[in-house]
Amino acid sequence: MKRVPSDGALAAAAPSRARAAASLPARTATVPPLASAAATAIRSPWIVSGRTRGQAEPPSGKVELTFARVAAMAGVSEATVRRWVRDGLVPQFDGHWTRASAAHAKLVARLRARGYTVSQIREASQSGRLAFGYIEELLPSTDGRFTLAEAVRITGLQPELVERVCASTGLSGVSTESISEQDLQMLRYVADIIAAGFPLPALLQLLRVYGQAMAQIADAEVRLFHLYVHEPLMRAGVPGAEMTEEMESLTRDVLPFVVPFMNYFHGRQLAHFIEQDVIGHIEADLDGEADTEGRMRVTIAFADLAGYTRLTEERGDEGAVEAVERFSQAVSRTLPIDARVIKTLGDEVMIVAADPVGLTEWAVEFAHSRGAGSEAPTRIGIHHGEALYRDGDYYGREVNRAARVVARASGGEVLVTRPVVEAAASSGRVGFERIGEVSLKGFSQPTELFQALIVED
């Protein structure tokens, strides 16, 4: 595969190619009012044809599955697939291939490559442990039917951008060597978004966020279905064929609700964060602060359970994990409206908020409620500064500083830096006690730390 240019290279190439783009058809010339001339310069170089927005290629016929095609999908010879069928390794095959039986053949190929014997795979197939091939019949086909050149012609995107988009999705099965109908439709959406004037660097980041979030959702769906549906059926001794039928029936009933759920949660969360963004802009204007491009001034907190290792030894892995789940749920349930959990790392939670006062007040109250006498006291470190925003996460020295601050706290303590003290000085509910300048790992200069305390009435 050719080397794909970086975002910087894409932007650098824009001015020289923008002039050529001026002669393209109306699809690339029409820019919504909110799209600036700069957005046009970013957009135009990556549109190479005048495909009308929303225009789709005529659907072609269904791809016929044969022994040769299934063998190619599995990466083995046709004779090998025929032998697997003869030996009973593909129980769904009844004289003709379906997507489910082809998926099972691919699974057999992977198991054989990992060293499993024919008898082991046959027993697993017959017992129902491999009863997931039916899902292929319920999901869109991922069979590759288009080349990179065809995708470029259909979507009007540059080859380099098609490759970059496929890499950004994080989908290991998406390849520019063999593009499916579903992949092609996703590329059409990308072309329309770029044509609307959305900046390319932001779009690539958004695609990465979508890919990561959807991967986590899909992983949870599969693992929870396995733990709470598949394994109980196996323990009950349900025959393989009957198990497959029951699982397929349940999946058919449940799957249609996935997209409505996602639309609902996305809409609710989008409304919330739009409101917070508007408030953040107003506050930044009043404070006279302006974020540099790609960076945001935020309050960063890390919270974890003091003595988590001891808790693991006393209660075992499952007991400790349950304690972490209760802790994480309590954090999410009690956070201020402008704060959110960015990620969890073991027993540690990273939180970002726009308002340092609200987050600090929450922290001291939360730590106090989970201090001495609780199953595992909470400790929290807070810092306020400018962080680099990428792909839905925050990076940089100020984030690292906040992570180092919590490491200096004891159970039930909330430690903060000087910028937090200055930003939260107006709070009537929190006071600060100076600890002194402390050396933090990875920082050459000491950091002044304070303990945040509840102000007694």
The β-bridge partners of 169 are none
Provide the pLDDT for residue 292: 57
The C-alpha R_g of the chain, in whole angstroms, comes to: 27
- What would the mean pLDDT of 197-214 be, rounded to a whole number? 86
One-character DSSP codes across 245-274? HHHHHHHHHHGGGHHHHHHHHHHHHHHHHH
HSE-CB of 183 using CA atoms within 13 angstroms = 29
Say yes or no to pLDDT of 115 above 80.
yes
Q: What is the dihedral of CA 360, 363, 369, 372, to 10 degrees?
A: -110
The 10 Å Cβ neighbour count of residue 123 is 12
Q: Considering the chain, what is the average pLDDT of its residues? A: 77
- What would the mean pLDDT of 182-188 be, rounded to a whole number? 89
- What would the mean pLDDT of 33-49 be, rounded to a whole number? 41
The β-bridge partners of 295 are 388
| DSSP-assigned letter for residue 299 | E
Spatial CA neighbour of 408 closest among 448, 375, 371, 355: 448
Q: What whole-number distance in Å separates Cα of residue 252 and Cα of residue 233?
A: 17
pLDDT in tens, 20-38: 333 333 333 333 333 333 3
Domain boundaries, the chain: 7-60+141-212, 291-454
Provide the pLDDT for residue 450: 96
Q: What whole-number distance in Å separates Cα of residue 310 and Cα of residue 177?
A: 51
Do 295 and 386 meet the contact criterion of CB atoms below 8 Å apart?
yes
The domain 291-454: what is its CATH number? 3.30.70.1230
Spatial CA neighbour of 149 closest among 233, 49, 222: 49
pLDDT band, very low/low/confident/very high, at 133 (cuts 50, 70, 90): low
- Stronger pLDDT, 390 or 196, i.e. the higher one: 196
Provide the pLDDT for residue 374: 67
| DSSP-assigned letter for residue 94 | S
Say yes or no to pLDDT of 312 above 70.
yes
Provide the pLDDT for residue 6: 47
Say yes or no to pLDDT of 17 above 60.
no
The sign of the dihedral angle between the CA atoms of 301, 307, 308, 309 is: positive
pLDDT in tens, 374-394: 677 899 999 999 888 887 788
The β-bridge partners of 437 are 448
Provide the pLDDT for residue 42: 38
| DSSP-assigned letter for residue 89 | S
Spatial CA neighbour of 351 closest among 333, 377, 331: 331
pLDDT in tens, 399-429: 999 999 999 998 889 999 999 999 888 788 8
pLDDT band, very low/low/confident/very high, at 274 (cuts 50, 70, 90): confident
One-character DSSP codes across 343-398? EEETTEEEEEES-HHHHHHHHHHHHHHTSTTSSS-EEEEEEEEEEEEETTEEESHH
Structural tokens at position 46: 């990556």
Cα–chain center distance at 348: 19
Structural tokens at position 372: 């001495």
Provide the pLDDT for residue 124: 78
- Name the burial class of residue 449, with classes exposed (0-12), middle (13-18) and buried (19+) by CB atoms within 10 angstroms of its CB: buried
The 10 Å Cβ neighbour count of residue 11 is 17
pLDDT in tens, 348-361: 999 999 889 999 99
Say yes or no to pLDDT of 52 above 80.
no
Say yes or no to pLDDT of 213 above 90.
no
Percent of the chain having pLDDT more than 90?
22
